[in-house]
Chain A
Amino acid sequence: MTAMTAVPATPEPNAAPALRIEGLYKSFGPLQVLRGIDLAVAEHEVVCLIGASGSGKSTLLRCVNLLEDVDAGRIVVGGEEITAPKVDVDRIRRDIGIVFQSYNLFPHMRVVDNVALAPRRVLKRPAARAEAEAMALLERFGLVEKAHDYPDRLSGGQQQRVAIVRALAMEPRLLLLDEITSALDPELVAEVLDVIRELAAGGMTMVIATHEMGFARDIADRVCFLDAGRILEEGTPDQIFRDPREGRTRQFLDRVIAAGRL
């Protein structure tokens, strides 16, 4: 559902992209992590980023959420350049949700307070309303019995689902998922991926860094293969997984298949 790149996905012509990244560079000291990333994501599109560890997937997502400063390039979200100087980063971040590999729930707060914190403090919702809305979201994702528990009482899969709900509570226009199943036991992965499928079906715009190739193939409108800080190849899941153009992509996928992850 994009109009920006030569992608044969179902088009919604002339729709402004939800996210546009142009010539993004990022280094940590001498280490160049991102070396000229260009990417556009349309509204309601689901883009999966695949590639080896260290290829820059996580850093790219952290840059979009302004958790990292960029060295060069522009990031435009909903028509506003968020990498412009003097932009109000707190206001930008409200609209961009991110879920981390390590959940990062707040351990001193009950589940419902984790979810209601940002609506209360950032959107200034009254406590009762924020809590009611948090409960409704937890209900929707099958977590309502855990609402009054502390995060350390939950399984990894439940914690990660709470982290997703916490991001959703801010009603983001763009959701970034950073290898959200990598820290989970294999039997807990499915429950988290089901949540993402439901969000995709509901039209959430998402950029997903993942090692779950089967999932990427299943859910993505478009797959981008990152290699050494560049998007080496992008296309539909069918094209990338069945008939990759680049030797590096094929090499990566062969290794993944050998490891039994596809």
Chain B
Amino acid sequence: MTFGPGPSDIDLLIGDRPGGPVRFRRRRRVSARAAVVATVSTLVFFGALVLAVTNAPGWAQVQRSFLNAKFFWGSLPDVVAHFWVNVQLFVIAEVLILVLGLVLAVLRSLPGPVFFPVRLLATFYVDLFRAIPGVLVIYMLGFGIPGLGIAGIPVDPFVWAVVALTLLYSAYVSEVYRAGIESIHPSQEAAARSLGLNRAQALRFVVLPQAVRRVIPPLLNDFIGLQKDTVLVSFVGVVDIFRSAQIKQAATFNFTPYLAVALVFILMTFPLARVVDWLVARDRARASAGAR
């Protein structure tokens, strides 16, 4: 920044000079400088970090057991193949969660004393499944229900893993939906009802379409969480991406396969996180355009 004699604010605001308005030229110079500072400080920070780690006394051993190229490439095809199990898990669960979460949210927003027991039950459900650690639900359903030995009930742990993830995440997702429903101004429902639409029609055609649009970013956030939590199903005997890495690790005493697992999740989650950011930015731009 210049302190002594320099362009005054007035000068900066006057345009019509070769090379465009001074203000804009100055801004461009400042942003170029900011980029250089950011690059240098990033390099310095991460350089120091890498130096600290690689000079640690146990680095050589850690590198052998966690960052082994041979084990990495050896385990990658198998790890990727088993990722298909996780994909099936979260795709099926996500569809079920979207439905069950919406049902729970609507049940919780039913008005009037008649529906008190319904609201109470739905609230209890949501509180309950947000309270219990997910791995416990997966254990109890995955081992407990097949253990009952009732004829006709599936014993495939995959099925109960889907059920457990659906029950767990529907509780979270219903809260997201509910926040969306409550964010729609009551005057919208009043306008719909005044035209003769009944409560269900007002919800279906006026409130929910607006609410769902508004909660897509937080819904995708919950789904990122769900996708990672699919590895919990390995605890009840489903051989998924995590289990396959574990089997490799147990056979070779090398932890590098876990790195491959992490990489697969990163490659899947990063783009989704960008999509969420993009949706949020777009909605914000739209909201400010609508408020003209």
Q: Give me the interface of A with B, judged by CB distance under 8 Å.
A: 65, 67, 90-91, 93-94, 96-98, 100, 102, 104-108, 117-118, 121-122, 152, 166-167, 170
- Structural contact, B196 and A67, CB atoms closer than 8 A: no
Q: Given A100-B187, A104-B187, A108-B213: A67 and B193 within 8 A (CB)?
A: yes
Q: Does B151 have its Cβ within 8 Å of any Cβ on chain A?
A: no
- Structural contact, B191 and A106, CB atoms closer than 8 A: yes
In the assembled complex, the CB of B284 is this many whole angstroms from the nearest CB of chain A, namely: 14
* Contact partners of B187 in chain A: CB under 8 A: 100, 102, 104
Q: Does B52 have its Cβ within 8 Å of any Cβ on chain A?
A: no
- Give the interface segment out of B74-82, B119-127, B202-210: B202-210
Say whether chain B's binding surface is mostly helix, strand, loop, or mixed: helix
Q: Given A107-B210, A152-B290: A118 and B196 within 8 A (CB)?
A: yes
- Structural contact, B188 and A106, CB atoms closer than 8 A: yes
Q: How many B residues, CB 8 Å from partner?
A: 20
Contact with A along B195-226 (1 / 0, CB 8 A): 11110010001100110010000000000000
- Structural contact, B195 and A117, CB atoms closer than 8 A: yes
CA distance A170 to B201 in the complex (A): 16
- Structural contact, B201 and A122, CB atoms closer than 8 A: yes
CA distance A166 to B191 in the complex (A): 10
CA distance A105 to B194 in the complex (A): 12
In the assembled complex, the CB of B290 is this many whole angstroms from the nearest CB of chain A, namely: 4
* Contact partners of B209 in chain A: CB under 8 A: 108
* Contact partners of B201 in chain A: CB under 8 A: 121-122
Q: List 15 A-B contacts (CB under 8 A).
A: A67-B194, A93-B194, A93-B195, A94-B195, A96-B194, A104-B188, A104-B191, A106-B206, A117-B192, A117-B195, A117-B197, A117-B205, A152-B290, A166-B195, A170-B196
* Contact partners of A166 in chain B: CB under 8 A: 195
- Structural contact, B196 and A91, CB atoms closer than 8 A: yes
Q: Give me the interface of B with A, judged by CB distance under 8 Å.
A: 187-188, 190-198, 201, 205-206, 209-210, 213, 289-290, 292
Q: Given A107-B290, A108-B209, A152-B290: A90 and B188 within 8 A (CB)?
A: no
Q: Given A122-B201, A152-B289: A98 and B194 within 8 A (CB)?
A: yes
CA distance A107 to B196 in the complex (A): 19
User: Apart from A90-B193, A104-B190, A167-B194, what 9 extra A-B contacts exist at CB < 8 Å?
Assistant: A90-B196, A100-B187, A102-B187, A104-B188, A107-B290, A108-B213, A117-B205, A117-B206, A152-B289
In the assembled complex, the CB of A161 is this many whole angstroms from the nearest CB of chain B, namely: 15
